[in-house]
Structure 1
């Protein structure tokens, strides 16, 4: 099986194993699914950190309002009494006024924290350094770990408007967020190898050759971004070694000319 070292710009993202006989359409679709799946895991973990600290998300009309404004407008979080964390809660006001402040107890926070740590480890880009490949199944397992932890702490489920709940049912709205700029639109996805775009309708071996036991660097981007930069022929560590050797040689030549 060929191993694809997937990059996004200069960022090393993950390793993916496939066959050179796989259709390029399939490869691109699978790589984009894994890439976007990693982003989903990261987004959920960020929100779960807030969930562990400040409880469930307020209804949209109450967010960013202070207590006086909420009272003046006669607004109430109808979900606060329905979505109480297992074991009760203590009040920890959200300084961003996004969540209701009903912080789960320490034991339940640890459940959420362990799930986040496990999920992050499963999709960590540093796995590239250990030659550990990533699959869509692993991404789905990471999501299931997060989903399971939330169900333990909130057996009655989260409010339907909570960002985490919307992520779990694939109804998240990323419009106007930084996260929306990171996601690759499947219909606009492009794959590049050695400065050439890997086009749909072909086999991977049309670009990589027939050797199914190799490892190559490929880059993901999307329509409108232009071709990604070429990989450096010499990596940074080797470049520094070459510069040091050249400097040493120049110093030796200077010394010999003086003598």
Structure 2
């Protein structure tokens, strides 16, 4: 099996295993789905950490208003009354006014904390150093355990306007957010190898040869962004070692 070390720019993302007989189209789709899936997991984990601290998201007509404005307008967070965490809650005001402040109890907070840590570990960039290849199933498994934790803490599910729920239902709206710039549509994705674009319609073997034991660096890029920077001839670690060796040699010659 060919091992692809997928990067975005100069930053390692994950390892992916495939064969040289697959088409570039197939690999672009699979790699992009995993890449976007990792971004989704990161977004969900970030929001779940806020959920554990400050409860569910306020409805759009209340979010951002002061307590006085809510009272004056006689607005009620009806979904906050319906979607109550297991074991009850204590009030912990959200300083930025996004969430209703109904913090789950410590045990439920721990369920969320442990699950988000597990999910992040499953798709962590550290898996590259560990030599673990990511698959679409691993990404889906991470999302599934996050979804499971939510149903443990919120058996009645989350409000329909909750961003975590939208993420699970793939109805999230990222427009106007930094996250929208990170996501790459499959139709706009490109793979680059050794400074050259890997064109759709060709096979991986056209670029990598027939050796199935190859390990190569490929770079995921969005159409229109131009070619990514080439890999340095020597790695950063090797460069540091060379400088250290030169320094020691210089000291010896004094």
Same fold at TM > 0.5? yes
Separation in structure 2 between the aligned mates of residue 252 and residue 116 of structure 1, nearest angstrom: 51
Does 2:90 correspond to 1:123? Answer: no
Cross-structure match for 1:48: 48
Q: Distance in 2 between matches of 1:5 and 1:22?
A: 16
TM-score between both structures, scaled by the size of structure 1: 0.95
**Higher Rg:** 1
1:9 aligns with 2:38: no
5+ residue gaps in structure 2? Answer: none
2-side partners of 1:239 and 1:87: how far apart? 55
| Aligned-residue offset at 1:247 | 4.5
Q: Structure 1 residues 247, 51: CA separation in 2 closer, same or farther (over 3 Å shift)?
A: closer
In 1: Cα distance, 2:211 partner to 2:197 partner: 19
**Alpha-carbon distance change, 91 to 245 in structure 1, aligned in 2, over 3 angstroms:** closer
Q: Which residue of 1 aligns with 2:239?
A: 239
Q: How big is each residue's C-alpha offset from its partner over 1:207-229, in whole Å with a ceiling of 9 and x where there is no partner? A: 01110011100000101111000
Name the CA distance, whole Å, in 2 between partners of 1:178 and 1:70: 29
Deviation at 1:250, TM superposition (A): 5.5
Q: Give the Cα separation in 2 of the matches to 1:86 and 1:252.
A: 68
| CA distance 1:115–1:252, change in 2 (3 Å) | closer
Q: Distance in 2 between matches of 1:75 and 1:234?
A: 61
Q: How many residue pairs get matched?
A: 254
Paired residue secondary structure (2:78): coil
State the Cα deviation string for residues 11-55 of structure 1 (Å, max 9, x = none).
110000000100110000000000000000000000000110111
User: 1:1-259 maps to which residues of 2 (within 5 A)?
Assistant: 1-249=1-249
C-alpha deviation, 1:92, in angstroms: 0.7
Mapped partners of 1:184, 1:152: distance in 2: 32
- The offset of 1:245, in angstroms, is 3.5
What is the distance in 2 between the residues matched to 1:250 and 1:117? Answer: 46
Q: 1:23 to 1:156 in 2, by over 3 A?
A: same
1:157 Cα deviation after fit? 0.5
Q: Distance in 2 between matches of 1:247 and 1:52?
A: 51
Give the Cα separation in 1 of the matches to 2:189 and 2:74.
47
Deviation at 1:251, TM superposition (A): 6.1
Query: Which residues of structure 1 form unaligned runs of 5+?
Result: none
Render the CA deviation track for 1:85-134: whole Å, top value 9, x for unaligned: 01111111111111111111111111111110110010000110010000
Task: Give, in whole Å, the separation in 2 of the partners of 1:3 and 1:19.
Answer: 8
Shift of 1:241: 2.6
Q: Which moved more, 1:241-250 or 1:86-95?
A: 241-250
